[in-house]
Structure 1
Amino acid sequence: MGNIYESDRLFKVWQYTVSHRRLLLRSSREEYGTRIDILFAGVERLCVQRVYEGLTIRRGTGEEARRIGEALDIEVDVESLYLLGDGISSFVISGAPQWREDDGYNDDPSRLGQLPGTP
């Protein structure tokens, strides 16, 4: 399967809210002149790194969903499985990710929607 998102930039886990089931990854503008936010909403499960030096996101396959499901002893809907990077060690089970590049600063709210606890 092909990548649905790919970037050479550095991304960090910027915010995760359990109660609102949202994960925000951010590449800040300091190094690149623009900011990129990637938002996963409706997060059911996740296993992510704190930092990604370059990021690819792709849909998981049926086999990958089966393997993750067996490891976690859960049923994984392949339509909700997004793999970050190579392999199955970093993933999000959620709704489809959204992303946006803009000129915002780190302390500005995401233009993908304000997350609780942010200005």
Structure 2
Amino acid sequence: MIHSFEERSFRIWEFSVHHSRLLIRSAKIDEDDFNVDLIFTAVDYLSLPDHMKGLEIDTASDKEIKSIENLLNKQINKNDITIIVANGKRHFVVSAGFKISKNKLDLLDSGREIP
């Protein structure tokens, strides 16, 4: 496990086909709280539910990498695979970039200026 957000709920907040950008957000509850944003760029493939609670970020096993390569019918750089564990199930996103951002952006602000 790389990161754990056991007490937070996340949603797919925004996906831009044009920019291949995915934002998964755990929104702040009040003004003293903060958002936790999972930002993926150059998204090639995603397989995950819309709502996730108790999320963990993990690395892909060799078996998972091979399975994803078979699914997509091409070789994938292991660094381009992010495993998201939610509700005891392992989901994945294949993307060229991944970043975790903690911020106080407004609810409707997707933070597009974040690289």
TM-score by length of 2: 0.82
Which residue of 2 is the match for residue 5 of structure 1?
Answer: 3
Matched, 1:107 2:108: yes
**How far apart are the structure 2 equivalents of 1:79 and 1:112?**
24
Which residue of 1 is the match for residue 63 of structure 2?
Answer: 63
SS in 1 for 2:9: strand
Q: Which has the larger displacement, 58-67 or 68-77?
A: 68-77
Which blocks of at least 5 consecutive residues in structure 2 are unaligned? none
RMSD (CA atoms): 2.2
**How far apart are the structure 1 equivalents of 2:70 and 2:27?**
36
Instruction: Judge conservation of contact 1:58–1:82 (CA < 8 Å) in 2.
Output: yes
Deviation of 1:71 after TM superposition, in Å, equals 3.2
Q: 1:7 to 1:76 in 2, by over 3 A?
A: same
Name the structure with the higher strand share. Answer: 2
Aligned residue pairs total 111
Instruction: Judge conservation of contact 1:37–1:110 (CA < 8 Å) in 2.
Output: no
2:17 partner letter: V
Matched, 1:21 2:20: yes
**How far apart are the structure 1 equivalents of 2:82 and 2:22?**
13
TM-score by length of 1: 0.79
Which blocks of at least 5 consecutive residues in structure 1 are unaligned? 115-119
